[in-house]
Structure formats: C-alpha cells, structure tokens
Amino acid sequence: MAALLACLVLAFPLKAETILILGDSLSASYGMEENQGWINLMRPQLPSHTLINAAVSGETSAGGLRRLPALLDSAKPELVFVMLGGNDGLRGFSPTELKKNLTKIIDLSIASGSRVLLSEVMVPTNYGGRYAKAFADVYQELGTREGVTLMRFFMTDIIIDPTLMQRDGIHPNEAAQPKIAEIMLPYFSSALTAK
C-alpha cells in the first residue's frame, strides 16, 4: 500500500503555488531572450512556485485589465505581481484612468483569492511635476489597501547606471537582469508570506 501511495505521489506531484506576472516590457525580457530576463533568473530562488510571465511589451493598465480575468481563471495564482502604468504615462494617459484600471485589477485579483504585489511606476520628469506626482500618488494610495504589498520602482536603481541600460535609454539590458532579480526577490518573498 505504501509503495502504491509513493507511486501516486510521484505520478501526480503536489501542485506548486503560482505567481502571475502582469506587466509590460520591463517584465517581458524586451530586447533579449526570455530566459535571460529577471523572471527566469528568479525561478530557482522560488522553487516551490510556478512563475507565469504574462507580461506584454507595450501593455497599458487597460490592456492588462482586459486580459486579467482569463489569466486568473487559468492560472489561479496565489500572488499577482502588477507592474503596469509605464506605457500609460509615456502616452500621457490620465492618472484618474490609471487608478481606475489598477483598482479593478486589484479587486479582481483579491476576489479570486490572490494577494497582490504592486510595483510603483514613475514617469520621466519632463512630463511635468504635477503629472508625475499625480501618477506616483496612485500607487501610494493603492498600496495601502488590504491584501496589497507595495514595492518601490526598481528602475530607480538601474537607470542611473548606463551600463545596465539598452541604447533606447528606457529598457534595462541583459546585464541588469540579475540585479533586478536581486531587487525583486525580497518583495516577492514578503508578499507571499503576508497575511
């Protein structure tokens, strides 16, 4: 009987808990092979979790919201990592619209039983101080919600070093990916253990 049970456990291993990454080019390994990106580099550090990279280059908060219900239904994640808004900002979209979309993303995720790790996103200073502050305030406000862990925008550590950036000055390069994984891991670990 014990041998049969052991065979069943080996044949049908316990399902790893799932982390869903909902993001844009900063998570989609833009300009490099997917296996070189920070998400893939972080996988060995979270061996009991399955990381599903649903990031899409050019994605806006509205696009992420449209895709989310199907992703939640298929992945049934324990944690949803949300890093959206950069493309909203670069296109000059309203912070009010950004907040509405991110609020719905958080609501849907929590209603599905997932915790949320929300990354701050910042817009370039040439968009004006008032716009940049209104944009940043969206993340600060949503980060106080129950079930949400807020993380600071990792790019503030990367963009200051030109050797870590691609030629476009917007996207981190392959050399930056291990550093990004190192920055991200404590936030993921904290969000996974948050009550």
This prediction's pTM: 0.90
Tell me the backbone φ, ψ of residue 143, rounded to 5 degrees.
Answer: -70, -15
pLDDT higher than 50, residue 5: no
Query: Cα angle at 33 between 109 and 163, to 5 degrees?
Result: 100
Give the separation between CA 45 and CA 28, rounded to whole angstroms: 19
Confidence (pLDDT) at 166: 97
pLDDT higher than 50, residue 10: no
pLDDT grade for 16, boundaries at 50, 70 and 90: low
Q: Spell out the domains of the chain, with CATH numbers in brackets.
A: 15-193 (3.40.50.1110)
For range 151-177, the mean pLDDT: 95
Confidence (pLDDT) at 125: 82
Confidence (pLDDT) at 191: 94
Confidence (pLDDT) at 188: 96
Active site residue 168: yes
Joined tokens for residue 46: 């979270």
Active site residue 171: yes
β-sheet bridge partners, residue 195: none
Considering the chain, what percentage of its residues have pLDDT values greater than 70? 91
Catalytic-labelled residue, pool 24, 27, 29, 171: 171
Joined tokens for residue 93: 């979209």
- Residue 149 contacts residue 190 (beta carbons within 8 Å): yes
Active site residue 49: no
Catalytic-labelled residue, pool 24, 25, 114, 119: 25
Give the separation between CA 192 and CA 17, rounded to whole angstroms: 10
Residues 97-156 pLDDT 10s = 999 999 999 999 999 999 999 999 999 888 899 999 999 999 999 999 999 999 999 999
